[in-house]
Amino acid sequence: MAASGFGYLLPLLDNYYNKHHLILTQRVSQSVTMLENYHLNDVSLITSVNPVQCRMNNKPKRISRRRPPKHLKPEAHAILMSWYRDHKDNPYPDMRVCRQLAEKAEVSLPQVKKWFCNKRARTNNTRSLAEIVKLRKASRRLRT
Average pLDDT over residues 121-125: 80
User: Within this chain, do residues 138 and 78 fall inside the same structural domain, yes or no?
Assistant: yes
Within a domain: residue 51? Answer: yes
Within a domain: residue 1? Answer: no
Cβ atoms 79, 104 nearer than 8 A: yes
Give the whole-angstrom CA distance, residue 89 versus residue 98: 17
Please tell me the predicted confidence (pLDDT) of residue 1: 44
CATH code for the domain of 88: 1.10.10.60
Q: CA angle at residue 135 from 139 to 100, to 5 degrees?
A: 70
User: Within this chain, do residues 53 and 93 fall inside the same structural domain, yes or no?
Assistant: no
pLDDT in tens, 67-105: 776 788 999 999 999 999 998 888 899 999 999 999 999
Query: How large is the C-alpha radius of gyration of the chain?
Result: 34
Residues spanned by the domain of 51: 11-57
Within a domain: residue 64? Answer: no
Q: How many domains does the chain have?
A: 2
Cβ atoms 76, 107 nearer than 8 A: yes
- Non-local (6+) Cβ contacts of 35 within 8 A are 41, 46, 51
Give the whole-angstrom CA distance, residue 106 versus residue 98: 12
User: Within this chain, do residues 88 and 130 fall inside the same structural domain, yes or no?
Assistant: yes
Within a domain: residue 98? Answer: yes
pTM over 0.95? The answer is no
Question: CB atoms < 10 A from the CB of 140, how many?
Answer: 9
Average pLDDT over residues 8-26: 83
Q: Mind spelling out the 3-state secondary structure of 30-76?
A: HHHHHHHHCCCCCHHHHHHCCHHHHHHHCCCCCCCCCCCCCCCCHHH
User: Within this chain, do residues 78 and 139 fall inside the same structural domain, yes or no?
Assistant: yes
Within a domain: residue 120? Answer: yes
